Amino acid sequence: MNVEVRPIKTAAETALATNFAAVKRALPGAAAVSALREAAFHRFETEGLPHRRVEEWKYTDLRALMRDAKPLADAPDAAAKARARQAMAVLSSIEARTVVFVDGVFAPELSDLADLEAGLTIGSMAQGLASGDPHLVAHLGKLITTDDVAVALNTAFMGDGAVIRVAEGAALARPIHLVFVNAGKEPASVFVRSLVMIEKGARAMLVESHIGSNGDEDQVNAALELKVGDAAHVDHVKITGRGAGALHVSTLMATVGAHARFNEFLFTTGGAVVRNQLFVRFTGEGTVAGIRGASLLKGRQHADTTLVADHAVADCTSREVFKSVLDDEGRSVFQGKIIVRRHAQKTDAKMATHALLLSDTAEANNKPELEIFADDVQCGHGATSGDLDEDLLFYLRARGIPANEAEALLIQAFVGEAVEGIEHAGLRDALMDQVVAWLAARK
């Protein structure tokens, strides 16, 4: 290859190179994995951190936003685990099987691994890489290939994460809740990588929470590779909560097989700068998918959702609905691209993004795109942004509801429209409770 290596410029880029040189030998995995890391890091060195002239990163200029690169997190000590135990008491109402990672490291003693249902295996990415698990090596990085630099950095530095498999036909009674807690004393960077394979006809619900106990100081790069097998029914809900990081970059790489049902939901209230990337590819016909999300941002929070839904085959239906509620100087970005390939006839894809601006200084950037190469499809997109409807507010207030309560009701209704896409009633209620708490904290 005759690629010009771009000179590394920023402090963060330099620190990343220093960090990589220092830790690469200690990162888990034998020669094949090391080669994967080196190649990925080379990709980063070639491109540098993504910046505003890279179209996909136009609104989230990592080169400018990332002042430095924090050192890699230390393995959690007892104090960190104690802090994690407190922070992870979220969503207890859904009675999920909890799998906990503290500062990027699997914490089996905090996890619920007893009585695994038939067909369910749960393991650690670090252990799988270290032992050269052939199943893992065969699939890692193979579902979706991307040259995205954030993913490359994740591959270069990946430490731990979950490796989950739900065997053909298995139906999990309880949701699995992956809890990633940032609990270190000093600001650190955490690279987690998970691989989840839901095989043919299986049913699983996966919740992923990113939270912290020490405020938003950390830099998190999380990646999840998800295979939804033929006729499988999978829900994935990612919650980016308080303490998710000063910089939180997350990538979902998912393939969805034939006649499957797939429901994705992103719920974001935390993090200072959040980037959620979703690369979803339909690989089998007759599938129905919902890809939705809600972000509630205040202060100077910035949350970017960048979605590529790739209808590579015919006869799939997808609904994309993203809502953001923006207070203070909060800023939301939605870049959604639906690709309909030449043979993907009868695709039915509709994308909508709505922003509610609660202050004059809030900002919403919406960039929906359709790339359609087939000629017999139904596709559309819509984007709106605005403030609360004065007439609706008057109607509520004329019934005796004070202004702040009336606003809260309308905001809940606005967010609720997206949250309704989640099938699990308990989780819907838990998220709406978080919306109510967010609104209460606003006053």
Phi and psi, residue 316, nearest 5°? -110, 150
Nearest to another protein of 65, 409 (CB atom): 409
Report yes or no: 330 and 297 within 8 Å, Cβ to Cβ. yes
DSSP code per residue over 188-240? -EEEEEEEEEE-TT-EEEEEEEEEESS-S--EEEEEEEEEE-TT-EEEEEEEE
Report yes or no: 20 and 10 within 8 Å, Cβ to Cβ. no
319 binds another protein (CB under 8 A): no
**Helix, coil or strand: residue 419:** helix
429 binds another protein (CB under 8 A): no
Binding part of the chain for another protein, among 50-58, 99-107, 114-122, 400-408 by CB under 8 A, reads 400-408
386 binds another protein (CB under 8 A): no
401 binds another protein (CB under 8 A): yes
Q: Which of 55, 115, 360, 391 binds another protein (CB under 8 A)?
A: 391
Query: Rounded to whole angstroms, how far apart are CA atoms 32 and 127?
Result: 15
390 binds another protein (CB under 8 A): yes
Binding part of the chain for another protein, among 92-100, 235-243, 330-338, 410-418 by CB under 8 A, reads 410-418
410 binds another protein (CB under 8 A): yes
Residues constituting the chain: 443
Scanning residues 98 to 157, which ones bind another protein (CB under 8 A)?
A: none
397 binds another protein (CB under 8 A): yes
Query: Rounded to whole angstroms, how far apart are CA atoms 28 and 33?
Result: 8
- The alpha helices in 243-399, defined as continuous H runs, are 390-398
Q: Which of 54, 383, 388, 392 binds another protein (CB under 8 A)?
A: 392
How many residues bind another protein, per CB under 8 A? 22
Nearest to another protein of 299, 386 (CB atom): 386
388 binds another protein (CB under 8 A): no
DSSP code per residue over 287-304? -EEEEEEEEEE-TT-EEE
Binding part of the chain for another protein, among 299-307, 378-386, 408-416, 433-441 by CB under 8 A, reads 408-416
DSSP 110: G
Nearest to another protein of 53, 399 (CB atom): 399
Nearest to another protein of 113, 437 (CB atom): 437
403 binds another protein (CB under 8 A): yes
399 binds another protein (CB under 8 A): yes
Q: How far is the CB of 414 from another protein (least distance, A)?
A: 7
User: How many other C-beta atoms can be found within 10 angstroms of the C-beta atom of residue 145?
Assistant: 10
400 binds another protein (CB under 8 A): yes
82 binds another protein (CB under 8 A): no
| Burial class of residue 253, CB neighbours in 10 A (0-12, 13-18, 19+) | buried
Query: Rounded to whole angstroms, how far apart are CA atoms 201 and 197?
Result: 12
Query: Rounded to whole angstroms, how far apart are CA atoms 291 and 281?
Result: 12
Nearest to another protein of 25, 443 (CB atom): 443
Of 358, 384, 381, 357, nearest to 368 by C-alpha is 381
Nearest to another protein of 23, 409 (CB atom): 409
Separation in Å, CA 442 to CA 206, 242, 298, 327, 405: 30, 15, 9, 9, 12
Q: Which of 3, 93, 369, 394 binds another protein (CB under 8 A)?
A: 394
Q: How far is the CB of 338 from another protein (least distance, A)?
A: 25
398 binds another protein (CB under 8 A): yes
417 binds another protein (CB under 8 A): yes
Separation in Å, CA 350 to CA 258, 298, 338, 379, 433: 19, 28, 9, 5, 28
Nearest to another protein of 373, 395 (CB atom): 395
Residues near another protein (CB under 8 A) are 390-392, 394-403, 405-406, 409-410, 412-414, 416-417
